[in-house]
Structure 1
Amino acid sequence: LLAHYGGWAHVPSQLTVPLFELQPSRQSESTRKRFKALAHLPLGCTFYLAELDLGLFLSDELKQQFASELKRRADRRLRTKEEELRQKDEEERRESERRKHGKSALAEELETMSLSAREAARRRQQSQYAAPEIHLAPEWQLQWEQQQQQQQ
């Protein structure tokens, strides 16, 4: 915006543009140095950085000038989205495994809290791996089904 408008005095006080992302951050000495316009915020204060789609405002010349930065940010957003999807899928798989074994996520977490830190870490690592699937030979499957029918 500064490059497009030529300085803070010419940047409009309001813009209506699509929002890419809101990124939470906490004020520290390093964020004060990096974001000088936010240096007045107290240490420890939470603030949000808004990444906007400025494609409509920027000239082709400015887009070319900032192409590498725009591409880096787009790639980061894509990686973040892929990671979130991967984590969501992994959590759904774990929850499915927990239900299969008769434990809710809460029950498993409460059980883990009662363990030592080392044992809890080992247990969490083990829970990441799916239980092996058991396949019966067809003849054993048939025998099992017959036994189940007789018991009913």
Structure 2
Amino acid sequence: SEVAGPSPGTPASGTYSPSPAIGPSISSPALGAGSSSSPGLSAMSSTIAPGGGRQPIISFYQAADGRYLFFEPFFTRLLLHEHGGRWDGLPAVLEDLRLDRLTEISVSEDARRRHKFLQHLPLGTVVLLAEVDLRNHLGTDTKNYFAEEFSKRRQQRKKEQIRSKREERIGKSRAAEDEERYYQALNVSHNVPIQQLPTAEDFVPMPSGLRS
């Protein structure tokens, strides 16, 4: 589900650091505390595991303060292309990135398969995937290479905005109709008969012997 984040144009404070996680069961080390950071996609390479076997190294961008906030994979692909596909060529820290959107997901087996950088997190963990503005970090070649993808994402964003506004209008209309029906029900006049007060003609005279 989508989570409300800073409005477009609002820079996110703090830094964004790439964080390695060795193996699916080892969590990433904590990065600089006291700052907010961003996520990324997973890049995998091989290393020697303690037991002597080959074990993957999973690298990704995570919030520098340790929060479960990661780059949405597409944005890591952009950085990797910009830096020749080499993780060791990526910036160690990305500062003052503008957060465009945050999407909340829960770690599941399917999420682990799609996003290798989530493999070290327990099932059910709630994480945030961030879409960020990387324009100042990308050259013309990278922007041209991903031009079609940028266009598709813009069109998808517009469709989502239109759908969201339409659902909001429908919701407001229904709420207004419900409110109108409520107040109409309160104002319905009910024909309640009013009992007239008795008059002298309504009383039967008492027998003369019973009068005091």
**Which of 102, 105, 113 is residue 22 of structure 1 equivalent to?**
102
AA partner of residue 64 (structure 1): N
| Bigger relative contact order (CA 8 A; separation at least 6) | 2
**Deviations 1:4-42 (CA, angstroms, capped at 9, x unpaired):** 123222322233221111011111122112111222111
For residues 34-113 of structure 1, the aligned pairs below 5 Å read: 34-102=114-182
Aligned letter for 1:9? D
Per-residue CA deviation, residues 88-141 of structure 1 (Å, 9 max, x unaligned), is 1111100110111017xxxxxxxxxxxxxxxxxxxxxxxxxxxxxxxxxxxxxx
Matching residue within 72, 80, 94 for 1:2: 80
Listed one character per residue, the Cα deviations across residues 41-100 of structure 1 (whole Å, up to 9, x for unaligned) are: 111111111011112211111111111222222222211111111111111100110111
Q: Distance in 2 between matches of 1:95 and 1:87?
A: 12
Write the letter of the residue equivalent to 2:138. L
TM-score (norm 1): 0.62
TM-score by length of 2: 0.45
Q: Which has the higher strand share?
A: 2
Cα distance in 1, alignment partners of residues 96 and 88 from structure 2 = 18
SS in 1 for 2:144: helix
Q: How many residues are paired up?
A: 103
Please give the alpha-carbon distance, in whole angstroms, between the structure 2 residues aligned to 1:20 and 1:36.
Answer: 23
Amino acid at match of 1:26: S
In structure 2, what residue type is equivalent to 1:61? D
Question: Mind listing any 5+ residue stretches in structure 1 that lack a counterpart?
Answer: 104-152
- The percentage of aligned residue pairs carrying the same residue is 32
The RMSD of aligned alpha carbons is 1.6
For the residue of structure 2 that corresponds to 1:93, the secondary structure is helix
C-alpha distance in 2, partners of 1:66/1:39? 28
**C-alpha distance in structure 1 between counterparts of 2:149 and 2:122, whole Å:** 29
Gaps of 5+ in 2: 1-78, 184-212
| Helix, strand or coil at the partner of 2:121 | coil
